[in-house]
Amino acid sequence: MKKILFLTAALVLVSIGADAQKRFAKGDWFLGAQTTSLGMSQSFFDGSATYTDLNLNGIGGWFFSNKFALEAGMGLSASKRDGYDGTSKLNVTIGIRYYPVANFFLRFVESGYVGTNTDFYTRAAMYAGYDLFLSEKVYFEPAVYYVTDIEAPISSALGASVGIGIRF
């Protein structure tokens, strides 16, 4: 886990100088897909349980200033933990992105709705990552994240995600 987080951080730092001239600006829109299905998240729910998660999220947003964007997303996830039945979740999120420096972002997300086949709950998440532009419009987005369930704070995770998107 430490190696994966170190490699993600190294990629972000190395790429900062590579494409600093390409960035989002006020009025830009973006659409993207993101996965946290890298097998790299560490759940604090039960340190002894092993689990498998499969997550895919769609995200879209609008930059209302050069440093801030409103975003919304929808995703699906499936989890299987030792000793527990598998669960499927549908989540709808809203959030704000903040870019303190070129292409490095902090993403504050609060889920408006996360539902499993048996219950509904809210969660909060924070991402730190980098938008590495592959072309004028297409970007790759590695990030690290921390997510916690608001109603059950013992259910938290730290991990890495990757995404790809387009701006227009």
Coil, strand or helix at 124: strand
**Regarding predicted confidence, which is higher, 16 or 148?**
148
Give CA separation, 166 vs 58, 75, 108, 145, in Å.
12, 18, 20, 21
**What is this structure's pTM?**
0.73
Q: What is the 3-state secondary structure (H, E, C) of 55-74?
A: EEEEEEEEECCCCEEEEEEE
- Return the pLDDT at 38: 58
Banded model confidence at residue 97, pLDDT cuts 50, 70, 90: very high
What are the structural domain ranges in the chain? 2-167
Distance CA 118, CA 44 (A): 21
Q: Is the predicted pLDDT of residue 168 greater than 70, yes or no? A: yes
Banded model confidence at residue 18, pLDDT cuts 50, 70, 90: very low
Distance CA 139, CA 36 (A): 17
Output phi, psi for 29, to 5 deg: -115, 155
Structure tokens at 5: 């987080």
The angle formed by the CA atoms of residues 46, 8 and 39, to the nearest 5 degrees, is 35
Tell me the helices (H) and strands (E) count for the chain, helix number first: 1, 11
- Return the pLDDT at 28: 95
Give CA separation, 106 vs 7, 52, 101, in Å.
18, 26, 10
In this structure, CATH architecture of domain 2-167: Beta Barrel (2.40)
Q: What residues contact residue 141 under an 8 Å CB cut-off, 6+ apart?
A: 32, 34, 129, 130, 131, 132, 162, 163, 164, 165
The burial of 119, by beta-carbon neighbours within 10 Å (0-12 exposed, 13-18 middle, 19 or more buried), is given as exposed
